[in-house]
Structure 1
Amino acid sequence: MQVSASANMTAMMARTRDLELVIRHVLAGLGHGIHAGRERGAGIEFSEYRAYAPGDEWRRVDWKLLARADRYFVREAERDSHVAVWLWLDATASMAEPSRDINGVDKLWFARTVLACVAAIAQRQGDAFGLVICTGGTVEFTPAARGPRQLQRVLAALNGATPQGNLPSSETLRASLHFARAPSMIFAASDFLDWPSPLSEALLRLRNMRHDVRLLTLRTQAEVDASFKTGTGYRDPERDDGLHRMSNADREHYKQQSRAHFDSVVASCRQHNIVHYEARIEQPLNSVLRSWLQLAGARAK
Structure 2
Amino acid sequence: MLSPELLYALRNLPLAAKQAAEGFLAGAHASRRHGAGMEFSQYRPYQPGDDLRRLDWRLAARSDRYYLRESEVDTSLTVNLLLDASASMNHRDDNGLSKLDYAKLMLAALAYLAQKQGDAVGLSVLSPRGLQHLPARDDTRQLPRLYYTLEATEATGTFPEATTLAPLIARRQRALTVCVSDLYEADGEINRLLARLRAVSGDVLLLHLAAGNELNFSYKGPITFRDLETGQTLQVDADQQRPAYQQHLQQWLRDTAQQARQQGLDYHLLSTAEPLDGAMREFLRRRQAMG
Residue 19 of structure 1: which of 6, 13, 22 is its match? 13
Counterpart residue number, 1:64: 59
Counterpart residue number, 2:197: 206
Using the alignment, how far apart are the partners of 2:4 and 2:112 within structure 1?
18
Residue 84 of structure 1: which of 72, 78, 91 is its match? 78
Question: 1:45 offset after TM fit, Å?
Answer: 2.4
Question: 1:17 offset after TM fit, Å?
Answer: 2.8
Secondary structure of the residue aligned to 1:181 is coil
Using the alignment, how far apart are the partners of 2:34 and 2:181 within structure 1?
27
**1:110 lines up with 2:102 in the alignment:** yes
C-alpha spacing 1:241/1:177, structure 2 compared with 1 (3 Å): same
Please give the root-mean-square deviation of Cα atoms over the aligned residues, in Å.
3.2
Question: 1:176 offset after TM fit, Å?
Answer: 3.6
User: Are the aligned partners of 1:217 and 1:278 in contact in 2 as well (CA < 8 Å)?
Assistant: yes
The amino acid of 1:108's aligned partner reads L
Deviates more, 1:130-139 or 1:107-116: 130-139
Using the alignment, how far apart are the partners of 2:284 and 2:219 within structure 1?
32
Question: 1:46 offset after TM fit, Å?
Answer: 2.5
User: Are the aligned partners of 2:159 and 2:185 in contact in 1 as well (CA < 8 Å)?
Assistant: no
Counterpart residue number, 2:207: 216
Counterpart residue number, 1:53: none
Residue 136 of structure 2: which of 133, 141, 144 is its match? 144
Counterpart residue number, 1:45: 50
User: Are the aligned partners of 2:82 and 2:178 in contact in 1 as well (CA < 8 Å)?
Assistant: yes
Counterpart residue number, 1:164: 156
Using the alignment, how far apart are the partners of 2:247 and 2:184 within structure 1?
14
Using the alignment, how far apart are the partners of 2:121 and 2:151 within structure 1?
17
Secondary structure of the residue aligned to 2:51 is strand
C-alpha spacing 1:128/1:288, structure 2 compared with 1 (3 Å): same
Question: 1:289 offset after TM fit, Å?
Answer: 2.7
User: Are the aligned partners of 2:224 and 2:233 in contact in 1 as well (CA < 8 Å)?
Assistant: no
User: Are the aligned partners of 2:177 and 2:201 in contact in 1 as well (CA < 8 Å)?
Assistant: no
The amino acid of 1:288's aligned partner reads G
Taking structure 2 as the reference length, what is the TM-score of the superposition? 0.80
Superposed counterparts of 1:1-301, under 5 Å = 9-28=3-22, 29-30=24-25, 31=28, 38=35, 45-48=50-53, 61-64=56-59, 83-100=77-94, 102-103=95-96, 105-178=97-170, 181-194=172-185, 197-285=188-276, 287-293=277-283, 295-296=285-286, 299-300=289-290
User: Are the aligned partners of 1:47 and 1:75 in contact in 2 as well (CA < 8 Å)?
Assistant: no
Question: 1:177 offset after TM fit, Å?
Answer: 1.8
Secondary structure of the residue aligned to 1:189 is strand
The amino acid of 1:274's aligned partner reads L
Using the alignment, how far apart are the partners of 1:32 and 1:119 within structure 2?
20
Secondary structure of the residue aligned to 1:277 is strand
| Unpaired stretches in structure 1, ≥5 consecutive residues | 1-5, 50-59, 69-73
C-alpha spacing 1:193/1:262, structure 2 compared with 1 (3 Å): farther
User: Are the aligned partners of 2:207 and 2:279 in contact in 1 as well (CA < 8 Å)?
Assistant: no
Taking structure 1 as the reference length, what is the TM-score of the superposition? 0.78
Question: 1:89 offset after TM fit, Å?
Answer: 0.5
C-alpha spacing 1:22/1:106, structure 2 compared with 1 (3 Å): same
After superposition, give the CA deviation of every residue in 1:242-269 in whole Å (9 maximum; x if it has no partner). Answer: 3443443322222222222221210112
Using the alignment, how far apart are the partners of 1:173 and 1:86 within structure 2?
14
Using the alignment, how far apart are the partners of 2:285 and 2:168 within structure 1?
28
